[in-house]
A and B are shown apart, each in its own frame.
Chain A
Amino acid sequence: MTIDKPPRPGGSELASAAARRPASPIAFRLDPASGVPTYLQLVQQVEHALRLGYLKPGDQLPKVRDAVASLAINPNTVLKAYRDLETKGLVAGRPGQGTFIRATLSRVALPELAELRRSLLVWLATAGAAGLDEDGIVALVTSALRDLREPRGEREGVA
C-alpha cells in the first residue's frame, strides 16, 4: 500500500524506529493537494484499510510518533484522527501501548452491493438526460456527501 522512503546514507530514523518496534500493518500517506483535511485523510485511510482487509481487529495503528516522523504533521492531528476513530467505535487506545483496532466496518453484503449499483446506474442515466456531465455529477455527489457529513446542529448559521 505504501512505499518506504529510499534509504539515505547513515540510515533513516524511520528505518531504525521500525527495526526497534513491531510495525503496524499499515503506514500513512498524505495527499496535500486533495483539499481533504489531514486528520480526515488519516481516518479515511484507516477505514479503507479495514475495508480491504489490511487491518483486522487487534492490529495496532501506527504510533503517533512514527506517523509524525514520517509525514511531518502535527501530532495533535494524528491524535484527533484516532479520537475520531474511537468515537466511531473502530479503535480503542491502550495506555502505554498504542491504539488498536476494535471492530470492523460493517461490510455491505454482495447482493445489497449489486442492488445499490443498479439504482445508481438508473440515477446516472437520469442525471445524464438532464444535461449533467461527468464533472457535474461528481460535483453534485461531493456536495451532497458534504451535506450528509455535517450534522445539522453545526450548520445552523449557514442553513
Chain B
Amino acid sequence: MNAVETNDLGKRYGNAWALRECTLAIPAGHVAALVGPNGAGKSTLLNLVVGLAAPSAGIVTVLDGQPAGSAAALDGVAFVAQDAPLYKNLTASEMLHLTRNLNRNFDEGYAKGRLRELGIPLDRKAGKLSGGQQSQLALSLALARRPQLLVLDEPMAMLDPLARHDFMATVMAAIADHGLSVVLSSHVLTELERVADYLVLISHGNVQVAGVVDDLLARHRVLTGPAVEADSYAERLNLVHAQRGEAQAHMLVRIDARTGPVPPGWETHPVSLEELTLAYLREPDAAWLPGPGRALRLEPTEVAN
C-alpha cells in the first residue's frame, strides 16, 4: 500500500502557488525524505498530507486511500511540526496526559520509558526544557501514538549532533519494531543518505525528483572526460548537470533504455545522494519522475471531523 498518494496536488495562497502539479506515490514501509531549498513547498506539502491545509487543486490521500485530515487519517498519522510545538506551560507529564486523552492509542509506558532514558524530567514545564529535549518530547508523544505514518517537518533543526543521532536512532528503531512509514523534510543532506530510501525533491513548488533512492542512484552516473566533447554528448546522455574546467568536465547523467554507450575516453563514477540532489537543485528544469502508475479516485473530499 502507499503511505502517501497525491494526484496533481496544488496549494495556492492568494495568487501564489506554493505547490503545484504534485503527483506522488510514496510506498509504505519506507523513509521518504523531502528535500529542497527554503520556500520550495516542503512544509506546504507536509501540511497537506497531515490535513492542516486543504488542497487548492488535486487530491491527497494517506494510508491506502484515506483522505488527508479525515478521522481515519488523523488516527493513523502522527505529525511533529517545525519547532516541535508543545504547550509551554504544561509539564511533560501533562503533555503525556493530554496526548493520551486526545488519541485512541497511546502507549504511555513507552513514552515514559523514553523520557526517562533521555533524562527529561516529567514534572518540568515543556517551555523550560532545552530545544533538543522539546524535540525529543514531541517525538516521543508522536511515536507513543503508535502511528502508521510519522510525518516530521525539519525535525532536527534544534538538535546537536549527538541529539540528532539519538533522534534518528529512535525513529529507525520504531520502524524496525512496528513497521512505521516516515516522511520527513530536511536540509541536512548528508544524514539523509543513511536514512532515506525514497527521495522527493521539491523546488519552487514543483516536484523535480520522486523515486526510490536505490533506483535513483542506479540510474545516474557522473561521467568525466574532455570538456570540449561535453556539449556534443549532453543531449544523448540525458545530462542533468555539468561542471566544467578548462580541460575536464564532469557530467551527471541519467541512464535509461535509450541512452547510448559511454563515449570512449570518458570515465564513469557512481553518484552519491548528496551530489545528485545538489545537481538537480542547480538545474530547476531537470526532472526525474518515474510516476506512480496507479489511478487515483478524483472526487475531492473536505476535511472531516
Contacts and interface: CB of A to CB of B under 8 A. Distances in A.
A158 B221 contact: yes
Interface string B216-234: 0110010000000000000
B98 interface: no
Contacts of B173: 13, 65, 68-69
A53 to B, nearest CB: 29
Given A76-B197, A158-B255, A68 B169 contact: yes
A57 to B, nearest CB: 26
Which of A72, A154, A159 counts the most B-chain CB atoms under 10 A from its CB? A72
Interface string B106-145: 0000000000111100000000000000000000000000
B268 interface: yes
A157 B272 contact: no
Which of A16, A69, A71 counts the most B-chain CB atoms under 10 A from its CB? A69
A32 B190 contact: yes
A60 interface: no
Given A74-B194, A74-B195, A13 B117 contact: yes
Contacts of A64: 176
Which of A16, A35, A75 counts the most B-chain CB atoms under 10 A from its CB? A75
B117 A75 contact: no
Given A68-B169, A72-B169, A159-B261, A11 B176 contact: no
A48 B30 CA distance: 29
Interface in B5-34: 29-31
B215 interface: no
B172 A30 contact: no
B176 A68 contact: yes
A83 B304 CA distance: 43
B112 to A, nearest CB: 12
Interface string A58-102: 000000110011111111110000000000000000000000000
Contacts of A71: 169, 194
B175 interface: yes
B172 A10 contact: no
Q: How large is the interface on A (under 10, 10 to 19, 20 to 34, 35 or more residues)?
A: 20 to 34
Contacts, number: 79
Nearest to B190: A32
B235 interface: no
B89 interface: no
A72 B117 contact: no
Interface string A120-159: 0000000000000000000000010010000000100111
A12 interface: yes
A154 B217 CA distance: 13
Contacts of A73: 172, 194-195
Contact of A65 (B116, B177, B255): B177
Given A10-B116, A32-B190, A74-B195, A143 B267 contact: yes
A9 interface: yes
B256 interface: yes
B72 interface: no
Contacts of B272: 35
B209 to A, nearest CB: 18
Which 10 A-B pairs have CB atoms at the shortest separation, nearest pair first? A72-B168, A159-B261, A72-B169, A65-B176, A69-B173, A75-B176, A68-B172, A157-B255, A73-B194, A10-B119
26 contacts: A8-B119, A10-B116, A10-B117, A10-B119, A13-B169, A35-B272, A38-B193, A65-B176, A68-B175, A69-B170, A69-B172, A69-B173, A71-B169, A72-B168, A73-B172, A74-B31, A74-B195, A74-B196, A74-B197, A75-B176, A76-B30, A76-B197, A143-B267, A157-B256, A157-B257, A159-B262
Interface of A: 8-13, 16, 30, 32, 35, 37-38, 64-65, 68-77, 143, 146, 154, 157-159
